[in-house]
Amino acid sequence: MSSSNKPVVVVIGNGMVGHKFCEKLMAASPSFQIVVFGEEPRPAYDRVHLSEYFNGKSANDLSLSMAGWFDAEQDIVLHVGDPVREIDRTAKVIHSRKGIIQPYDFLVLATGSAAFVPDIPGIEKQGVFVYRTIEDLDLIRAYAREARNGAVMGGGLLGLEAAKALLDLGISHPHVIEFASRLMPRQIDSAGSHILEARLKKLGLQLHLNKTTLAVEGEGRVKSLRFADDTSLDLDMLVISAGIRPRDELARLAGLQVGTRGGILVNEKMQTSDPQIFAIGECALVAGMVYGLVAPGYEMADVVAANLAGGHKTFTGFDMSTKLKLIGVDVASFGDAFVGEPDSRTIVFEDRHKGIYKRINITGDGTRLLGGILIGDAAAYNMLLQTVNNRLPLPPDPEDLILGSRGGAGSGAGVMDLPDDALICSCESVTKAAICQAVSEKGIETIDGMKKCTKAGTGCGGCVPLVKDLIAGELKANGRYIRNVICEHFDQSRQELLHLIKLHDVRTYDEVLGRWGKGDGCEVCKPAVASILASCWNDNIQQQAVIQDSNDRYLANIQKGGTYSVVPRIPGGEITPEKLIVLGKVAKKYHLYTKITGGQRIDLFGAHVSDLPDIWEELIAAGFESGHAYGKALRTVKSCVGSTWCRFGLHDSVSFAIEVEERYRGIRAPHKIKGGVSGCIRECAEAQSKDFGIIATEKGWNLYVCGNGGSKPQHAQLLATDIDQATVVRLLDRFLMFYIQTADPLTRTATWLNKMDGGMSYLKNVVVEDSLGMAAQWEEEMQALVDSYKCEWKEVVDNPALRQRFVHFVNAPRKKDPTVAFDSMRGQIKAKEW
């Protein structure tokens, strides 16, 4: 401890708010010596995200950063595991349990709160827990291993979070016991509770409302609960979450004023009845209120730090809006959630089918939003909260706020309409102006950069979407149009880079990065350049495996759980019985799930990475080849059976589909490509929903391009009519090369066309009329790609060095990933849910 003559600030409690106070005071002024006493055995941690301790986070991961605390200039000492026993206000010293006697000039109480444990007979039994500290969670976890069923007492915010934690610990169908007639009684109304109850039941919770517990029964350890309505419930463990009780015992002992229902009484400067002593966080009672959330606690910390450093700041109440995290159902309540007539008008939207409930309360004249409740879909939470806090004007039809506007003008105000002093991150008190300034003056463009620069979004994280919108909005307002450059490592678009690579005959990613890029590349530019290199030179992509998207790196599609799927090519969807039998045998031998795909082929799922080469060896021996289902490349050319069997068929669509599929197989493109060939106008191959579609006519074929299925269906458009097969292929060569060389990464042909100046008539001019004079070159380039085709899987199977890469553990090549697990369904395996 330094013996400087700086005034000494002693902080009692090293929880979230105590921690924040130290941070704020050190930032505000270097002229204090700070001594902290904490009761818990470890430095402050993120209690708000405590439940993540059950989801793989360690105590270390949860700890709050103390970067810079122990720098030379800072004068701070931290005693953990040493609670303060007594405050001697006359001598102005405190006594710790370990016997330290520490004088103070100012004392800050940040002792937080404890779980409120109701006085019910038997509550002291083994198997009854509270949910507040890492130690509590360790006890719960250990006990839950032996427990089969469990319950949470209390259906509030924390109780539901605890119930979800029990679920995560393997207690199936945990019970939630609530004294009131609805869940989260402090945040939501009964209509909202009904919807929430339905959703939670689906998640596996068993809810008991209107239940008064009379006794906890069992010999030594809890066995059952008895209720006032003469019912009972058997259980092995019980977690109490019935509210919080401010820890004011030390203050009481020292003769400071406390509230009748607990809490250390403070004024708007957070001063207790002794002006040298302050109380902040959950132990403080300010204007009749104990705040059980972290953001108001941080604000209190700021008030005391600012005043000690010579400023003037007061605590004027705080918004209690909350969003429930973790449970798997969005629940939010903001502003004044409960006001009703006559002070306000209420608009309610309820969808029992989807489990959505939204309520907003607006002023009688319909001009301002007062508050509301969102259940099942809280996407609008941040913006609605801002609308309340900043008294933003409402749209002419206020219901648009929760329904979205139906036609015409946008609903409500956008983020950029918020006033400069709008508080965006309430945990760290960051305003809109601070965020926009960071963008325009410090060049911050990412959420990560913003967190480092302003700390916005580092608390509860709830404001992150809003911060992202503000960054984008401010960038746009500054006229910084997001140019189509590939990523932060290249200043070129995909098309520009492709031209450079061809012109300079560059063949490796490292050389591309060295010549035109900066930094070390990333998951965006590596696969984009890989695709360009493949489109230009058609070298085996395994030669530069590490720049390929994971699917291309392992020549298979990664699936839930980390296994892969295998899709051999079945051109045109035609397959012999012998080959079908081979597929069945291979699937059986390697325990694979089999499914027929939309592209008329067979997908085998659930292959361990180390089995892939063996599987392919067998498939290739039977005459199969890679289907490129993993690549941004041609997938399938779907066909109907055509004139060989069909009584309506005009031409042999299957043969043509096979010819086209085999021509373009393996060619890498900005995105996947699908084709279709139909033998007549009935269009059974659905060719008009493909990137290219060929449909038989009386006189030849019609060629359609730029169609799309999937989430944004788009009809393909007619490029040429009644042409012969050779012309179809020639036009397709040109069309595909034009696309490959000019589209942005991950852009399907439909989107590429939608963005093209001049649209379809321009495309027709270029491809059919050869207006750019590129046709001959494109046809030649395409022929070179076609001629250099090799089956990638065959090359791997035949090359021991390449085969070796297909292992999960490099130090135990034969060992499979032990975390891979399957469920079963209808007689086959299925990936475990994540």
Partner 1 sequence: MESNAKWRLACQVEDVPSDGGACVSFGDEQIAIFNFSRRNQWYATENRCPHKQQMALSRGMTGSTGEQCEPKVACPFHKKTFSLVTGECLSGDEYKIRTYPVKVKDGKVYICA
Interacting residues toward ligand FAD by CB under 6 A: 12-18, 37-40, 47-48, 50-51, 83-84, 110-112, 131-132, 158, 161, 247, 250, 281-282, 292-295, 297, 325, 460
Secondary structure (3-state) at 224: strand
Least gap, CB of 834 to partner 1 (angstroms)? 4
Strands (DSSP E) found in 325-386: 331-335, 344-351, 356-363, 369-375
Q: Which residue is nearest to ligand FAD (CB)?
A: 15
> Residue 42 interacts with partner 1 (CB under 8 A)?
no
Q: Measured from the CB atom, is 163 or 402 closer to ligand FAD?
A: 163
Least gap, CB of 810 to ligand FAD (angstroms)? 40
Q: Which entry of partner 1, ligand FAD, none binds 97, CB below 5 to 8 A by partner kind?
A: none
Q: Measured from the CB atom, is 489 or 638 closer to partner 1?
A: 489
745 and 523 Cβ atoms separated by less than 8 Å:
no
**Which residue do the tokens 């553990």 mark?**
809
Secondary structure (3-state) at 504: coil
Q: Measured from the CB atom, is 282 or 428 closer to ligand FAD?
A: 282
Q: Measured from the CB atom, is 58 or 484 closer to partner 1?
A: 58
| Beta carbons within 10 angstroms of residue 518's beta carbon | 11
Q: Which residues contact 654 (CB under 8 A, 6 or more apart)?
A: 572, 573, 574, 639, 640, 641, 642, 644, 677
Please provide the size of the chain in residues. 834
439 and 475 Cβ atoms separated by less than 8 Å:
yes
d(CA 369, CA 791): 63
Least gap, CB of 382 to ligand FAD (angstroms)? 15
> Residue 185 interacts with partner 1 (CB under 8 A)?
no
Least gap, CB of 64 to ligand FAD (angstroms)? 10
> Residue 451 interacts with partner 1 (CB under 8 A)?
yes
356 and 379 Cβ atoms separated by less than 8 Å:
no
Least gap, CB of 821 to partner 1 (angstroms)? 11
* DSSP codes, 699-713: TEEEEEE--B-TTS-
Query: How many angstroms separate the Cα of 451 from the Cα of each of 304, 425, 454, 482?
Result: 24, 11, 6, 21
Q: Is the dihedral of CA 614, 620, 624, 629 positive or negative?
A: positive
> Residue 350 interacts with partner 1 (CB under 8 A)?
no
Q: Which entry of ligand FAD, partner 1, none binds 307, CB below 5 to 8 A by partner kind?
A: none
Q: Which segment (48-56, 531-539, 646-654, 720-728) binds partner 1 by CB under 8 A?
A: 48-56
> Residue 549 interacts with partner 1 (CB under 8 A)?
yes
Which of 521, 566, 565, 518 shows the shortest CA–CA distance to 547?
521
Least gap, CB of 37 to ligand FAD (angstroms)? 5
Q: Which entry of ligand FAD, partner 1, none binds 811, CB below 5 to 8 A by partner kind?
A: partner 1
Among 103, 404, 414, 562, binds partner 1 (CB under 8 A): 562
Left, alpha or beta for 465 (phi > 0: left; psi -120 to 50: alpha)? alpha
Mark residues 464-493: x for contact with partner 1 by CB under 8 A, - for none. x---x-------------------xx----
Q: Which entry of ligand FAD, partner 1, none binds 15, CB below 5 to 8 A by partner kind?
A: ligand FAD
Least gap, CB of 230 to ligand FAD (angstroms)? 33
> Residue 545 interacts with partner 1 (CB under 8 A)?
yes
d(CA 675, CA 753): 16
Which of 17, 65, 64, 12 shows the shortest CA–CA distance to 37?
12
Q: Measured from the CB atom, is 64 or 114 closer to partner 1?
A: 64
Q: Which segment (312-320, 445-453, 599-607, 623-631) binds partner 1 by CB under 8 A?
A: 445-453
d(CA 710, CA 701): 25
Secondary structure (3-state) at 201: helix
d(CA 38, CA 112): 11
Q: Measured from the CB atom, is 70 or 809 closer to partner 1?
A: 809
d(CA 55, CA 51): 7
Q: Which entry of ligand FAD, partner 1, none binds 234, CB below 5 to 8 A by partner kind?
A: none
Q: Measured from the CB atom, is 18 or 412 closer to ligand FAD?
A: 18
Strand partners, 423: 431
> Residue 553 interacts with partner 1 (CB under 8 A)?
yes
Query: How many angstroms separate the Cα of 748 from the Cα of each of 150, 473, 631, 702, 765?
Result: 51, 27, 13, 21, 20
Residues found near partner 1 in the complex (CB under 8 A): 49, 52, 56-58, 61, 447-449, 451, 457, 461, 464, 468, 488-489, 510, 519-523, 525-527, 545-547, 549-551, 553-554, 558, 561-562, 805, 808-812, 815, 817, 819-820, 834
